[in-house]
Amino acid sequence: MEEKFKILFLPDDKEFEVTAGISVLQAAGMAGVELDGPCGGNGTCGKCRVRVMKEQGGAQWALACKTIIDRDMTVEIPQLEVSVHRKNELTLADLNVQIDSGISAKVVTVSKPSLENQHPDAKRFLIAMDNDTLELGTEVLRALPKTVRDKEAKGMVTAILCGNKVLAVEAGDTSQRLYGIAVDIGTTSVVVALMDLRSGETVAIASAGNPQTTFGADVIARIEHVMNNEDGLEVLNRRVIKTINRLTEKLAQDIGITPMEIYQMTMVGNTTMSHLFMKIDPTYLAVSPFIPVVSERVWFEARELNIEIAPQAPVYVTPSVAGYVGGDTIGVIMSTDIYQKKGIYLAIDIGTNGELVLSRDGEMASCSTAAGPAFEGAQIKFGMRAADGAIEKVTILENGEVEIGVIGNQPPKGICGSGLMDVVSEMARAGVIDSTGRLCTAENPGDLPPALQKRLGSNEEYGPYFILSFAEDNMGEEVVLTQKDVRELQLAKAALAAGIQVLLQHFNLSAQDLDEVLLAGAFGSYINKYSALGIGLLPAIDANKINSVGNAAGTGARMELISQEIRQEAEKVARRVEHLELSTRADFQEYFINCLSF
């Protein structure tokens, strides 16, 4: 018989019995405990760090994927970091949208029943509403008897309406409390914006990592998880829904409302994220011919998706263009206004995939490239999110000295996407890598200054590498960039640059014709555009034409939330964008090879 051990996960207090020999990360997966492991248990990403309790008291940090269960254990999972920003901390520009969310409140007084007025509650309510064609859903009928009999409200009832449907009824006048959430599900993080549906203001925003990451860093890994596990779709769906609920609850708490006062939700995300959100099998997105199940906009009720807001609140899933050009791209198009502006615009949303849209006077084409998670610091030896301790800026001085900027001014622990692009750009400029991307080695340092030569190293684990930060210099850990890291970035930037070329070619344009390049996504906000130009990620154009537009996909979701018109436009736009499938194009292959060099 196989040996069994008990493992207790904190702070969930979940106990699970496992067969000896599996890792803590695997056990967490089986127990349904959320734990990040984007590298797939290779011990390379360091994101599955947990605290293993010692028998004699105290605890010790360890990688869950490398900790094999050989006894009864208690393991503490560091909690999902949720960051919340209130309105006064947000620097969001007001949305330039006519407010018309489709949700409204009406306050009426429902008559008291008596032996002379034996009308049912529903009937007396409809009489008060002066409209007996209104639809009352399950939840409204269930809430009605208590609501109309509330002692303090004395028959006063607030009805929340969406078209001809009553979404909710509340005792008293609560018409001042009318909220919605706009949700942006990224492959690596989830952002929820709480909005006042009356004023259109964004009241607060909360974000956290996407806990699906445990099952792989990119969309392909997630889809593979669904293909290979009977409960894969269920688990991935549950995780993201749980995160949305947790963020929403946090936001509601923060401003003193209940999640039940949230009556509408809009959602943007890439096609895989949308499918997983809807619990729809994304399998066929991953295999040629890359077919989504649905790309038209979909309306759900919140309860169908287990979203814990008003149960009958409509949930709007933004339409998408094609397999890899999803609702997030539609969000970018809507918020940048390029679908109706005169001029030639290139919008780039860089995440784990790179989605590109080129618009010429509102005529649009799109494509998607497997930019890869390199841009987000994943699959990079010392890659990490843009958090405290991440190297985000790198300059190599004339004399070979390396200056680094670290988030939070702390000892460096790793490197994030923008730092990565900086360092590769600087290494190319300084000759630490040649135009083919090959790293100089200590044995073959070319004519590098000594200050750079001493940073070259090689060992069995890393292969050839470049030391970004010496442990002794910065009171931190040694942080290096390996040859393999450079290759990851090189492949990603070549794919993106080739995609841009295909789009330009499609319109018979050259890079110089572009009026503006819009960089969307969190990464777009942090990127040093000179580095991006330096490594050839962006075509050689005037740097002044390159602008970051922040979380444009999320902004699109916020606009959709407060405007029926924007939603209707988004549906038209989704049908209008021409999609170029790169995987079958010979010209893409050609451009890709040409774009590989630095």
- Residue 90 in contact with a copy of itself, rule: CB under 8 A: no
- Residue 145 in contact with a copy of itself, rule: CB under 8 A: yes
CA distance 298 to 254: 30
Q: Please, what is the minimum distance in Å from the beta carbon of residue 81 to a copy of itself?
A: 32
- Residue 121 in contact with a copy of itself, rule: CB under 8 A: yes
Question: Which residue's entry shows tokens 């002379």?
Answer: 116
Give the dihedral sign, CA 282/285/289/291.
positive
| Tokens standing for residue 588 | 């893409």
Chain centroid to Cα 519, Å, comes to 15
* Interface pick for a copy of itself out of 291, 397, 471, 543 (rule CB under 8 A): 291
- Residue 294 in contact with a copy of itself, rule: CB under 8 A: yes
Name the percent of the chain in helix, strand, coil, to the closest 5: 35, 25, 40
* Interface pick for a copy of itself out of 96, 118, 176, 409 (rule CB under 8 A): 118
Question: Which residue's entry shows tokens 């080129």?
Answer: 358
Burial 264-292 (b: 16+ CB within 10 A, else e): bbbbbbbbbbbbbbbbbebbebbeeeeeb
Q: What is the x/- site pattern for a copy of itself, positions 204-243, by CB under 8 A?
A: ----------------------------------------
Helix, strand or coil for residue 183? Answer: strand
Q: Which range touches a copy of itself (CB under 8 A), out of 145-153, 348-356, 449-457, 488-496?
A: 145-153
Which residue lies nearer to a copy of itself by CB, 52 or 294?
A: 294
Q: Which range touches a copy of itself (CB under 8 A), out of 286-294, 400-408, 513-521, 549-557?
A: 286-294
Give the dihedral sign, CA 383/386/391/395.
positive
CA dihedral 356, 359, 363, 365 (to 10 degrees): -20
Q: Please, what is the minimum distance in Å from the beta carbon of residue 503 to a copy of itself?
A: 18
- Residue 257 in contact with a copy of itself, rule: CB under 8 A: no
The maximal CA–CA distance of the chain, rounded, in angstroms, is 101
Q: Which range touches a copy of itself (CB under 8 A), out of 189-197, 278-286, 403-411, 476-484?
A: 278-286
| Tokens standing for residue 340 | 């109706």
Q: Which range touches a copy of itself (CB under 8 A), out of 208-216, 296-304, 493-501, 566-574?
A: 296-304
- Residue 506 in contact with a copy of itself, rule: CB under 8 A: no
CA distance 81 to 211: 11
Q: Which range touches a copy of itself (CB under 8 A), out of 27-35, 137-145, 329-337, 350-358?
A: 137-145
Site for a copy of itself in 319-338 (CB under 8 A): 322-323
Q: Which range touches a copy of itself (CB under 8 A), out of 107-115, 203-211, 251-259, 404-412?
A: 107-115
CA distance 243 to 396: 41
Which residue lies nearer to a copy of itself by CB, 87 or 123?
A: 123
Site for a copy of itself in 7-26 (CB under 8 A): none
* Interface pick for a copy of itself out of 109, 288, 444, 589 (rule CB under 8 A): 288
- Residue 113 in contact with a copy of itself, rule: CB under 8 A: yes
Q: Which range touches a copy of itself (CB under 8 A), out of 28-36, 362-370, 393-401, 577-585?
A: 577-585
Q: Which amino acid is at 515?
A: D
CA distance 142 to 523: 46
Q: Please, what is the minimum distance in Å from the beta carbon of residue 330 to a copy of itself?
A: 14
CB 441 within 8 Å of CB 458: yes
CA distance 510 to 514: 8
Q: Please, what is the minimum distance in Å from the beta carbon of residue 276 to a copy of itself?
A: 12
- Residue 582 in contact with a copy of itself, rule: CB under 8 A: no
Which residue lies nearer to a copy of itself by CB, 150 or 281?
A: 281
Which residue lies nearer to a copy of itself by CB, 141 or 491?
A: 141
| Tokens standing for residue 201 | 């203001």
| Tokens standing for residue 281 | 């099998």
Which residue lies nearer to a copy of itself by CB, 96 or 164?
A: 164
* Interface pick for a copy of itself out of 11, 57, 58, 289 (rule CB under 8 A): 289
* Interface pick for a copy of itself out of 584, 589, 594, 597 (rule CB under 8 A): 584
* Interface pick for a copy of itself out of 161, 267, 268, 278 (rule CB under 8 A): 278
Residue 332, CA distances (Å) to 41, 203, 241, 274, 318 in order: 34, 21, 23, 16, 11
Q: Which of 490, 524, 565, 157 is nearest to 340 (CA)?
A: 565
CB 73 within 8 Å of CB 52: yes
* Interface pick for a copy of itself out of 42, 98, 131, 138 (rule CB under 8 A): 138
* Interface pick for a copy of itself out of 8, 298, 467, 491 (rule CB under 8 A): 298
Question: Which residue's entry shows tokens 């940090």?
Answer: 61
CA distance 263 to 177: 10
Residues in contact with a copy of itself by the rule CB under 8 A? 113-115, 117-123, 136, 138, 141-142, 144-146, 149, 278-281, 283-284, 288-296, 298, 300, 304-305, 322-323, 579, 581, 583-584
